[in-house]
Amino acid sequence: MYSEDEFIPVSALSDITFCERRAALHFIERIWEDNLFTAEGTILHERVDEDSNTEARGNIRISRSIPLRSLRLGLIGKADIVEFHKTATDGVKLEGVSGLWLPFPVEYKRGYLRHEHSFDIQLCAYALCLEEMLNVKVTEGALFYGKTKRRLGVYFDEVLRQKTEDTAKRLHELIASSITPKAEYSKKCERCSLVDRCLPKVSRKASNYLLKVREE
């Protein structure tokens, strides 16, 4: 169990899955930069927050901007949307509504429909938070992509659950170490908002130069 002062944002799981150095720059060195991608993502999330907090659509009740936390994983966050689907068994009771309801987290992402393992892990973390808070099994969720306005369903199997727990543990270890990993350039660096602060190409050239001098 983690104490509240050890909590880390759930969104950081997506960071460390994308790049450990990026996570360290954010949560050890406290360096933040926006680019077009992050700005569009912020606007999309703000629009979700501005919508009505609750809505009913038949056998689905929709709640927005739901605070979540897990003492076991040391995570805290806010789910864009949690749908509650009416079920005959294994659900939770909702205030002012009869029957049982099964949570179904939905995370909003900018861009086009695509599979990103880091997004799966972030969404699964929301599910694990819901399970701990509501004492109910959450089996599925979805990622909603703003450009295409389409959903990608995610099933929380044992492999994804274990990967999510391992990622949370690694994130706590990284932050506790206070050590920022060295830069290693790859094609994904061009999509990172911190590329101009991280300077992975420059760092790689400097490392190669120092290695060459050492060998000589």
Q: Are residues 20 and 89 in the same domain?
A: yes
> What's the pLDDT score for residue 202?
64
Tell me the per-residue pLDDT of 95-138, one tens digit each, with 9 for 90 and over.
Answer: 888 999 999 999 998 877 778 899 999 999 999 999 999 999 99
Provide the domain count of the chain.
2
Tokens of 180: 């920022």
Q: Are residues 53 and 29 in the same domain?
A: yes
Which range marks the domain in which residue 127 is found? 4-181
Q: Are residues 89 and 148 in the same domain?
A: yes
Distances (CA, A) of 49 to 53, 64, 148: 8, 7, 20
Q: Are residues 189 and 145 in the same domain?
A: no
CA distance 165 to 128: 9
What SS3 state is found at 205? Answer: helix
- Torsion sign across C-alpha atoms 166, 172, 177, 182: positive
Q: Are residues 166 and 188 in the same domain?
A: no
Three-state SS across 156-179?
CCHHHHHHHHHHHHHHHHHHHHCC
Q: Are residues 132 and 173 in the same domain?
A: yes
pTM: 0.81
Q: Are residues 167 and 63 in the same domain?
A: yes
Q: Are residues 143 and 188 in the same domain?
A: no
Q: Are residues 122 and 73 in the same domain?
A: yes
Tell me the per-residue pLDDT of 38-89, one tens digit each, with 9 for 90 and over.
Answer: 444 444 445 545 555 778 888 999 999 999 999 999 999 999 999 999 999 8
Q: Are residues 176 and 194 in the same domain?
A: no
